[in-house]
Amino acid sequence: MALAKILSGTTVGLESVPVTVEVAIESFGFPGFNIVGLADKAVEESKERVRSAIKSSQLEFPRHRITVNLTPADLPKKGALFDLPIAVGILVASDIIPWSDELAQSLFFGELSLDGKLRSTPGAIALGMLATDLKTPNLFLPEVNANEAAFIKEINVFGLNALQDLIKHLAGEAAITKTPPQDFLDLLQADFGSGADFKEVRGQETAKRALEIAAAGGHNIAMTGPPGSGKTMLARALPSILPKFTPEEAFEVTKIYSVTGNLPPGVCFIKERPFRSPHHTTSRIGLIGGGSHPTPGEISLAHRGVLFLDEFPELGRASLEALRQPLEDGLVSISRAAGTLTFPAKFMLVVASNPCPCGFLGHPTKKCSCSSHQIENYKKRLSGPILDRIDLHLEVPPVEVEKLTDATKPAEDSQTIRNRVQTARNKQQNRFEKCGIHCNSEMLGPHIKEYCQLTSEGDTLIKTAVNNLALSARAYFRILKVARTIADLANSENVEASHLAEALQFRVTKKMLGGS
The SS3 call for residue 284 is helix
Gap between the terminal Cα atoms of the chain: 74
Max intra-chain CA distance, the chain: 89
* Measured distance CA(91)–CA(89) in Å, rounded: 5
Domain around 10: 2-182
Q: Are residues 155 and 208 in the same domain?
A: no
- Residue 514 confidence (pLDDT): 42
Q: Are residues 175 and 250 in the same domain?
A: no
Q: Are residues 46 and 165 in the same domain?
A: yes
What is 166-225 written as a DSSP string?
A: HHHHHTTSSPPPPPPPP-HHHHTSS----S--GGGS-S-HHHHHHHHHHHHHT--EEEE-
Q: Is 224 left (phi over 0), alpha (psi -120 to 50) or beta?
A: beta
* Measured distance CA(315)–CA(515) in Å, rounded: 16
For the chain, the domain total comes to 3
* 412 assigned to some structural domain: no
* 365 assigned to some structural domain: no
Q: How many residues does the chain have?
A: 516
* 56 assigned to some structural domain: yes
Tell me how far the alpha carbon of residue 260 is from its chain's centroid: 10
- According to DSSP, residue 67 is labeled E
- Residue 148 confidence (pLDDT): 92
Q: Are residues 256 and 132 in the same domain?
A: no
* 480 assigned to some structural domain: yes
Contacts of 57 (CB under 8 A, 6+ apart): 116, 162, 163, 164, 167
Give the CATH number for residue 92.
Answer: 3.30.230.10
Q: Are residues 147 and 192 in the same domain?
A: no
**CA-wise closest residue to 324 among 288, 295, 273, 292:** 288
Give the CATH number for residue 489.
Answer: 1.10.8
* Measured distance CA(7)–CA(15) in Å, rounded: 17
Which of the listed residues 134, 158, 182 is the one where a domain comes to its end?
182
Contact 278, 287 (CB under 8 A): yes
Q: Are residues 315 and 201 in the same domain?
A: yes
* Measured distance CA(273)–CA(240) in Å, rounded: 10
Q: Are residues 157 and 261 in the same domain?
A: no
Taking each helix axis from N to C terminus, what angle separates 414-431 and 205-217, rounded to the nearest 10 degrees?
30
pLDDT digits (tens, 9 = 90+) for 299-318: 999 999 999 999 999 999 99
CA angle 37, 43, 44 (to 5 degrees): 85
**CA-wise closest residue to 109 among 137, 80, 135:** 80
Alpha-carbon distances, residue 141 vs 8, 161, 218, 262, 363 (angstroms): 10, 9, 37, 18, 59
| Residue 99, amino acid | W
- Residue 200 confidence (pLDDT): 86
Q: Are residues 286 and 174 in the same domain?
A: no
* 421 assigned to some structural domain: no
* 438 assigned to some structural domain: no
Q: Are residues 255 and 331 in the same domain?
A: yes
Q: Are residues 163 and 214 in the same domain?
A: no
Give the CATH number for residue 234.
Answer: 3.40.50.300
* 422 assigned to some structural domain: no
Residue by residue, pLDDT tens for the chain (516 residues) are 789 999 999 999 999 999 999 999 998 878 999 999 999 999 999 999 999 999 999 999 999 999 999 999 999 999 999 999 999 999 999 999 999 999 999 999 999 999 999 999 999 999 999 999 999 999 999 999 999 999 998 999 999 999 999 999 998 899 999 999 987 776 665 555 566 889 888 888 999 999 999 999 999 999 999 998 999 999 999 999 999 998 899 999 999 999 999 998 878 889 889 999 999 999 999 999 998 888 999 999 999 999 999 999 999 999 999 999 999 999 999 988 778 899 999 999 999 999 999 999 989 889 999 999 999 999 899 998 999 999 999 999 998 776 766 766 778 999 999 999 999 999 999 999 999 899 999 999 999 999 999 999 999 999 999 998 888 999 999 999 999 999 999 999 999 999 999 999 998 554 443 443
- Cis? peptide before 72, omega within 30° of 0: yes
Which of the listed residues 147, 182, 217 is the one where a domain comes to its end?
182
Q: What helix, strand, coil percent values describe the chain, rounded to 5?
A: 40, 20, 40
Q: Are residues 294 and 234 in the same domain?
A: yes
Which of the listed residues 165, 182, 199 is the one where a domain comes to its end?
182
Contact 246, 426 (CB under 8 A): no
What pTM was computed for the model? 0.92
CA neighbours within 13 Å on the CB side: how many for 243?
27
* 252 assigned to some structural domain: yes
- Residue 515 confidence (pLDDT): 42
Q: Are residues 172 and 195 in the same domain?
A: no
